[in-house]
Amino acid sequence: MVPSAVPAIPNLDPNSLAKFVDPLPLPAIAVPTSHRSVPGSSGRQVPVYRVAARAVTQKLHRDLPATPLWAYGDSVPGVMFDVRAGEGLAIEWANELPSKHFLPIDHSLHGAEPGVPEGRSVVHVHGAKVPPESDGYPEDWYVPGQSRLYHYPNDQAAALLWYHDHAMGINRLNMYAGLFGLYVIRDAREQALGLPSGKYEIPLVLFDRNARADGQLSYPVSADPGRPWVPEVFGELHLVNGKISPYLEVEPRRYRLRILNAANGRFYRLSVPDGVDVFQIGTDQGLLPAPVAVKHVLLAPAERADLLIDFAPHRGARIELASDAFALLQFRVGERPVPDPSEMPRSLSSLERLAESAAVQTRRLTLDESQNLVAESTGMLLNKTPWHMPITEKPVLGTTEIWEIVNLTDDTHPIHLHLVRFQILDRRRFDAFQYMTQNTLRYVGPVMPPDPNEMGWKDTVRVNAKTVTRIIVPFSGYAGRYVWHCHILEHEDNEMMRPYEVVRA
Ligand code: C2O
Ligand code: CU
Ligand code: CU
């Protein structure tokens, strides 16, 4: 671990703040500002939205002064897209950010060299199947005063996606500052299930931050002023939809909770008290085949969980959603019984498991950590290859591949591929020392299937320490240049990201 410098003004003690005093905010829904025909819409008019990234202030807690943040729209998380599968749209992403950053840029990182504009930004919709020119390639950033019109075909199944900044070398800072929001796609199949909807469907965006008593965000820095980058950030303040430990009044009936881990580096291990039934019905890329009863839900950065929770047996109760010892959100269940027309379907989707034989090739890719002489992390790599090296992964459009991800490090890394969705095949422990010294893969544990709540389509997968994780990936949609990376943002910004290219046969 790199030692962190002590901040000049100390961070706020989270125990000094009263819990459950602020109501849970819900993100505003984006509305289109015009309609026009865009390339690829064959003359049809599509809705056009405009979203500006800009500096805002926001009260994170009743007893804190307002905190300066960067937001898409008026608040963090940003304005929420609620759209239908098959109905394309365009978004004008405007960069109205200040030209100076308020968080510590590390100019020794690739893409963040001195002189590169600090207010740069580019938007990526995580989990969306979009043409490469609208995907938000990290080097496609643009400066304050500029905007880009991106097209989203929404030609994919119902799922909770999200959008966020992806600017090269400062992505972790832009997202810590608040540049992310939700993007939900709905379809007729999902609607036919009769799941709780409207005010009974609650988006929950989880993230952690550190702040000072004056409300200012604080981002940790290393002890080396020339290289302030730190390998991981954990905040002591736990926010849900932009408030610290808020509460939500609910009726005694079933609710659908759509949860995103938007933290830079924290993994959430969600739970509610014993006796409260929770079922997971969906994951990153949509519905599971059937509901899975869950006791704990582990969410790495960028993973999503779609949960059903039934408050009917708990009239008048106060129920905490926690992550290990941290209280995230308190549900206050109403006293009076209410009718509940929603359903708890026994089957959700007809998802088929992909056969390994469908893959035309298997790629072995390593996750690596580089350390200096005193065992401090100096950065992470994918396949020992820095960002700027020529593209090595070139799957053919329309084919399926197996990616065998060999984690040589001591951390779990949430690995994300743009453009595609995939299924997890299995995980297996191996002898990392032998791999590093003799370059041979010797397994030391049994083949572990994915957890029942990982059996759906995913776009981000936890690759555990000293474990080989295999995913099977159909490369469909578009040819062109995309990226894959670790979604611990400090890793991503320090070389744990690589371009890949989908090529035509
Ligand atoms: Cu959340 Cu490169 O993505
Ligand atoms: Cu993505
Ligand atoms: Cu990582």
Ligand nearest to the CA of 162: 1
Q: Is 54 in the pocket of ligand 1 (CB under 6 A)?
A: no
Cβ atoms 315, 334 nearer than 8 A = yes
Q: Is the pLDDT of residue 166 over 60?
A: yes
* Residue 8 pLDDT grade (very low, low, confident, very high; cuts 50, 70, 90): low
Expressed in angstroms and rounded, the spacing between residue 174 Cα and the centre of ligand 3 is 18
Taking the alpha carbons of 112, 116, 119, 124 in that order, is the dihedral positive or negative? negative
Task: Give the DSSP letter string of 159-180.
Answer: EEEEEEE--TTTHHHHHHTT-E
Q: Is 491 in the pocket of ligand 1 (CB under 6 A)?
A: no
| Atom in ligand 1 nearest the alpha carbon of residue 302 | 1
The 10 Å CB-count burial string (b at 16+, else e) for 84-112 is: ebeebbbbebbbebeeebebbbbbebebb
| Atom in ligand 1 nearest the alpha carbon of residue 484 | 2
Expressed in angstroms and rounded, the spacing between residue 319 Cα and the centre of ligand 1 is 32
Q: Is the pLDDT of residue 3 over 60?
A: no
pLDDT in tens, 228-263: 999 999 999 999 999 999 999 999 999 999 999 999
Question: Full-prediction pTM beyond 0.75?
Answer: yes
| Atom in ligand 1 nearest the alpha carbon of residue 497 | 2
Expressed in angstroms and rounded, the spacing between residue 397 Cα and the centre of ligand 3 is 27
| Atom in ligand 1 nearest the alpha carbon of residue 460 | 1
Average pLDDT, integer, range 320-341: 96
CA 102 to CA 107: how far, in whole Å?
14
Residues with CB under 5 A from ligand 3 (ion): 413, 486, 488, 491
pLDDT in tens, 66-122: 999 999 999 999 999 999 999 999 999 999 999 999 999 999 999 999 999 999 999
Cβ atoms 456, 287 nearer than 8 A = yes
CA 493 to CA 106: how far, in whole Å?
10
Expressed in angstroms and rounded, the spacing between residue 491 Cα and the centre of ligand 3 is 5
pLDDT attached to residue 304 = 98
pLDDT attached to residue 335 = 98
Task: Give the DSSP letter string of 336-389.
Answer: S---------S----PPPPPGGGEEEEEEEEEEEEE-TTS-EEEEEETTB-TTS
Q: Is 498 in the pocket of ligand 1 (CB under 6 A)?
A: no
Expressed in angstroms and rounded, the spacing between residue 163 Cα and the centre of ligand 2 is 8
The residue among 145, 190, 185, 147 whose CA lies nearest residue 163 is: 185
Q: What phi and psi values does residue 147 have, to the nearest 5 degrees?
A: -145, 165
Q: Is 304 in the pocket of ligand 1 (CB under 6 A)?
A: no
Expressed in angstroms and rounded, the spacing between residue 449 Cα and the centre of ligand 3 is 22
In this structure, of 36-40, 288-292, 312-316, the range with the lowest mean pLDDT score is 36-40
pLDDT in tens, 342-374: 988 999 988 899 999 999 999 999 999 877 777
Q: Is 130 in the pocket of ligand 1 (CB under 6 A)?
A: no
pLDDT attached to residue 38 = 72
Ligand nearest to the CA of 492: 3
Expressed in angstroms and rounded, the spacing between residue 300 Cα and the centre of ligand 3 is 10
The residue among 264, 488, 235 whose CA lies nearest residue 380 is: 488
Q: Is the pLDDT of residue 1 over 60?
A: no
Three-state secondary-structure class, residue 136:
coil
Q: Is the pLDDT of residue 12 over 50?
A: yes
Cβ atoms 473, 439 nearer than 8 A = no
Q: Is the pLDDT of residue 184 over 70?
A: yes
pLDDT attached to residue 2 = 47
pLDDT in tens, 401-438: 999 999 999 999 999 999 999 999 999 999 999 999 99
The residue among 172, 252, 189, 215 whose CA lies nearest residue 63 is: 215
Q: Is 172 in the pocket of ligand 1 (CB under 6 A)?
A: no
Looking at ligand 1, which residue's alpha carbon is closest to its atom 3? 126
Q: What phi and psi values does residue 162 have, to the nearest 5 degrees?
A: -150, 160
**Mean pLDDT for all residues in the chain:** 95
Q: Is 302 in the pocket of ligand 1 (CB under 6 A)?
A: yes
The residue among 119, 221, 111, 208 whose CA lies nearest residue 168 is: 111
Cβ atoms 72, 80 nearer than 8 A = no
| Atom in ligand 1 nearest the alpha carbon of residue 166 | 2
Q: Is the pLDDT of residue 339 over 60?
A: yes
Q: Is 485 in the pocket of ligand 1 (CB under 6 A)?
A: yes
User: Could you tell me how many residues make up the chain?
Assistant: 505
Expressed in angstroms and rounded, the spacing between residue 488 Cα and the centre of ligand 3 is 5
pLDDT attached to residue 372 = 77
DSSP classification of residue 67: E
Percent of the chain with pLDDT over 90: 91
| Atom in ligand 1 nearest the alpha carbon of residue 485 | 2
pLDDT attached to residue 4 = 60
Looking at ligand 1, which residue's alpha carbon is closest to its atom 1? 126
Expressed in angstroms and rounded, the spacing between residue 41 Cα and the centre of ligand 3 is 38
Q: Which residues have CB under 8 Å from 439's CB, separation 6+?
A: none
How many C-beta neighbours within 10 Å does residue 502 have? 23
Cβ atoms 250, 287 nearer than 8 A = no
Q: What phi and psi values does residue 339 have, to the nearest 5 degrees?
A: -70, 150
Expressed in angstroms and rounded, the spacing between residue 376 Cα and the centre of ligand 2 is 29
pLDDT attached to residue 374 = 75
- Give the largest CA-CA distance in the chain: 67
Q: Is 253 in the pocket of ligand 1 (CB under 6 A)?
A: no
Average pLDDT, integer, range 307-329: 97
Q: For the chain, first and last CA: distance in Å?
A: 45
Judge residue 396's burial from the number of C-beta atoms within 10 Å of its C-beta, 0-12 exposed, 13-18 middle, 19 or more buried. Answer: middle
